[in-house]
Amino acid sequence: MQRGRNTGFEFVLSEPACLDKNTVTTDARRASPPDTQIRQRLGRGPMKFLTGLLAAVCLIACMGASHAVVRIADDRGGRIGTYVDKYQDLRQSGDTVIIDGLCASACTIVLGAIPRDRICVTSHATLGFHAAWDFGSNGRAVTNPEATQMLYAMYPSQVKRWISQRGGLTPHMLFLKGKQLQAMYKPCYLDAQASALKPASPRLSPKAEELESARGQLLH
C-alpha cells in the first residue's frame, strides 16, 4: 500500500487591468471595471476549489494508509505452513497488527514473522504457546521435538526467555497476557478501523509445504 503526501498548491490567474486613458494607477483592482473584477474573482474560485479538493483527497489517502491495521482475536491456530504463508503476506503488506484477544498455537508465529514495532496489544490480548506434534503410528498425537525447536527459534528473545522460565514448550498450554505481555509489546487502542485477517490461500507454497512436513502441526 502506498502512502499519499499531503501537499497543497495554488495558482492565481488575473487578467490585465483596464486602465483609464486619463488616469494611471498602480492599483489594478481600482482601475478595473466592476465586471472585470468579478471575472477575476470567479476565475480564481474554481482553481481554489480544485486545489482544496486535491488536498482533501490526498489527506484522506494519508489517513487511510496510516490506519491500515489487521486485528487478531480468537485465533486458536492450525497448521504451521498455513500461518507461515499468511504472515509472509502480512509482513510484506506493511500493515500494523493489533492483538485483541486469543492468539494461540500457530497463531503466535506472528511474533517472529512481523517486526516488533508493527505489533501492539490490547488489554484483551492473550498468547498461548505449546509444543508441536505429529500423529504417531498408533494414530495418537505425539510431540515432535524437531518441529517444536524450530517453532521456539522463531520467537523473539523476550518471549523465548519467558517460555524457558516456565519449562519450555510442552503439550501443556502456556498463557502470556496482562502486564507481562504489555511489558514486551506496546499497548494499542482500537480507535482505528481494523480489518479481519484475509483467508490464506488453500494452496501452500513449496517452502511452506516443506515446513509443513518438517514441523508437523500444532495443537488447537
CB 180 within 8 A of CB 40: no
Q: Looking at the predicted structure, is the pLDDT value of residue 1 above 90?
A: no
d(C-alpha 143, C-alpha 141), whole Å: 7
51: confidence class by pLDDT, cuts 50, 70, 90: low
Position 183, amino acid: A
- pLDDT value of position 58: 45
DSSP, residue by residue, 153-178:
HHS-HHHHHHHHTTTSS-SS-EEEEH
Position 167, amino acid: G
**Whether CATH 3.90.226 fits 69-218:** yes
- pLDDT value of position 135: 82
Q: Looking at the predicted structure, is the pLDDT value of residue 55 above 70?
A: no
Q: Is the dihedral of CA 104, 108, 95, 92 positive or negative?
A: negative
More confidently predicted of 140 and 108: 108
Closest listed residue to residue 23, CA positions, set 15, 31, 13: 31
The C-alpha torsion from 164 through 216 and 75 to 95, rounded to 10°, is 90
CB 147 within 8 A of CB 132: yes
Identify the top-confidence range among 17-26, 69-78, 182-191.
69-78
Q: Looking at the predicted structure, is the pLDDT value of residue 123 above 50?
A: yes
Q: Looking at the predicted structure, is the pLDDT value of residue 125 above 80?
A: yes
For the chain, helix, strand, coil in percent to 5 are 45, 15, 40
Beta-strand relationship, 69-72 and 195-196: parallel
Domain segments of the chain as ranges: 1-66, 69-218
Report pTM.
Answer: 0.58
Mean pLDDT of the chain: 72
SS3 141: strand
d(C-alpha 20, C-alpha 18), whole Å: 7
Task: State residue 162 phi and psi, 5-degree precision.
Answer: -65, -45
DSSP state of 67: T
More confidently predicted of 60 and 190: 190
- pLDDT value of position 33: 54
SS3 184: coil
Q: Looking at the predicted structure, is the pLDDT value of residue 52 above 60?
A: no
d(C-alpha 141, C-alpha 148), whole Å: 14
What tens digit of pLDDT does each residue of 168-209 get? 999 999 999 999 999 999 998 754 444 444 444 334 445 445
